[in-house]
Structure 1
Amino acid sequence: MILRQFLHREPIGISYLFGCGGQAICAVVDPVGAIEPYLRAAEEGGMRIAYVIDTHVHADHVSAGRVLAEATGADCVLGDKADVGFPHRAVTDGEVLPLGNVTAQVLHTPGHTPEHICLLVTDHTRTEEPWFVLTGHTLMVGDMGRTELATSAEDGARNLFRSAARLRELPDHVEVLAGAYAGSVCGRRLSGKPWSTIGFEKRHNAAFAITDEDEFVREMLIEIPPPPPEAARLRAINGGLAVPAE
């Protein structure tokens, strides 16, 4: 297993490259900004980028996903609930993306946005148990993702409650590798530590620990931070329904 984490400051977010060094294949998740760091990381690991995956249609930055996919010949991957205007590989809940000795199972986890997916990753050279889950803006370290950027806040929160329940069923040891950290407008009370575990978040993440749906919705509807600037336009750009300003 090879795993690289890329921490971004403008906008605040986290991208990942992971895969199988032995069979020279990897995926990039939620790329932001210039594509050269991802190309360099893949080259240093002797790997080909097979998949470029956006966990959701982002509203706080312009995704580099399509640009990176075009540059590498990789599949541009989104969940099958994504309403976008460009060719891509639409993955379904439960689908497994093979990466040599590594696999990534798709989990449809709506709430932050309707199309959001998480990726449950296993290194089969070590065990058949999942090692970590890439959670995007569904579950972050310290909070759950905001729910009103693509639907009503309450509808999003009810969907997110069901997604949270699904993630809570994962073994406590599974590592949580989120798509944002402290300072992001996509969550509240986020930690500056950019990784955690399912077990730690169940014990110490106030929203994630709630098992009553109405209580969860009330929790998610308080202290909603200001929306990202031009959120609707950014989602349209990332969905291929608008073009970036020159």
Structure 2
Amino acid sequence: MLFRQYLHRDPIAISYFFGCGSQSQGVVVDPIEDQVDFYIEESKRLQMDIRYVIDTHLHADHISGARTLAEKTGVVYLLHRSAKVNYAFTPVDDGEQIKLGNTVLTILHTPGHTPEHISIVVSDLTRGEAPWFVATGHTLMIGDVGRTELANDVRRGAEQLYRSLRDKLLVLPDYVEIFPGAYSGSLCGRRLSGKPVSTIGFERRYNQALQFQEEADFVHHMTVEIPEQPAEFQLIRAYNMGHSEQRPGK
């Protein structure tokens, strides 16, 4: 498998390009707008065809480059079926699998940070069928979990996030690596680490947000000490949904 992780500083975000190197089939996950041409050049440099572009969710902290990248490359843009947007996309469902040569992506619907949020479990069949890593977006991050009020009622989002964590992500084996959509400095979490990778087992043991066994305790934790909201977050999310043509910052 070929795997690249890109740490962005303005905005603070993480995007990914990975897939089957032997068959030159790749996917870009959570691309940001001002790096669209970079991903295209990377695909040429790495000799990897971009077959899919995926947003784990409709972002509220930066403008997504997914639609533009899909249009420029002519590939399929994937979102969870529940995404309420004003443009065409290819829907994916919980449990659906996508094959890129020897790389297999399994979609998990993990609402909480946003209603349409997905996480992507990835296996490399040349090494085995077991999951290798999971791209978690803003659901489970390193040192924290995603805030729940930018696209939801904060309590409703926290209830959804608790179930997504317990029923979808924390049932994965401890060795599975976590590659999140943000790191320290992002306003989408409170105690985010500057280390952009961890494992299910390490986060299960040391992530403060995962220490609450009861849903009520977790929900209370998520509804206090809510961090500062990203500037223009409502406008950014509306723009990413195609509900507004007004570009944030303009």
TM-score exceeds 0.5: yes
Q: Tell me, yes or no, if the aligned pair for 1:19 and 1:99 is still in contact at 8 Å.
A: yes
Match of 1:233 among 212, 232, 235: 235
Determine the C-alpha separation between the residues in 2 that align with 1:75 and 1:222.
39
SS at 1:193's partner residue? coil
C-alpha distance after superposition, 1:175-225 (max 9, x if no partner) = 000000000000011000000000000000011232210010011112111
So what's the TM-score if we normalise by structure 2? 0.97
SS at 2:208's partner residue? coil
Q: Which residue of 1 aligns with 2:79?
A: 78
Q: Which residue of 2 aligns with 1:29?
A: 29
Whichever residue aligns with residue 102 of structure 1, its letter is T
SS at 2:94's partner residue? coil
Aligned pair 1:66/2:50, yes or no?
A: no
Whichever residue aligns with residue 217 of structure 1, its letter is V
What displacement does 1:243 show? 1.3
Determine the C-alpha separation between the residues in 1 that align with 2:145 and 2:35.
28
Whichever residue aligns with residue 14 of structure 1, its letter is I
Q: Tell me, yes or no, if the aligned pair for 1:201 and 1:209 is still in contact at 8 Å.
A: no
Q: Which residue of 2 aligns with 1:6?
A: 6
Q: Which residue of 2 aligns with 1:175?
A: 177
Determine the C-alpha separation between the residues in 2 that align with 1:127 and 1:51.
23
Number of aligned residue pairs: give it: 246
Determine the C-alpha separation between the residues in 2 that align with 1:164 and 1:210.
11
Deviates more, 1:200-209 or 1:156-165: 200-209
What displacement does 1:170 show? 0.3
Gap regions ≥5 residues in structure 2 = none
Determine the C-alpha separation between the residues in 2 that align with 1:232 and 1:14.
21
Determine the C-alpha separation between the residues in 2 that align with 1:158 and 1:34.
34
Determine the C-alpha separation between the residues in 1 that align with 2:87 and 2:182.
26
Aligned pair 1:50/2:57, yes or no?
A: no
Determine the C-alpha separation between the residues in 1 that align with 2:214 and 2:128.
34
Deviates more, 1:123-132 or 1:218-227: 218-227
Aligned pair 1:148/2:149, yes or no?
A: yes
What displacement does 1:36 show? 2.0
Whichever residue aligns with residue 138 of structure 1, its letter is T
Determine the C-alpha separation between the residues in 1 that align with 2:42 and 2:203.
30
Q: Which residue of 1 aligns with 2:214?
A: 212
What displacement does 1:34 show? 2.4
CA-atom RMSD in angstroms: 0.9
Q: How does 1:70-109 map to 2 (within 5 A)?
A: 70-109=71-110
So what's the TM-score if we normalise by structure 1? 0.98
What displacement does 1:244 show? 3.8
Determine the C-alpha separation between the residues in 1 that align with 2:94 and 2:202.
25
Determine the C-alpha separation between the residues in 1 that align with 2:184 and 2:7.
11
Q: Which residue of 1 aligns with 2:116?
A: 115
SS at 2:230's partner residue? coil
Structure 1 outlier segments of 4+, above 6 Å = none
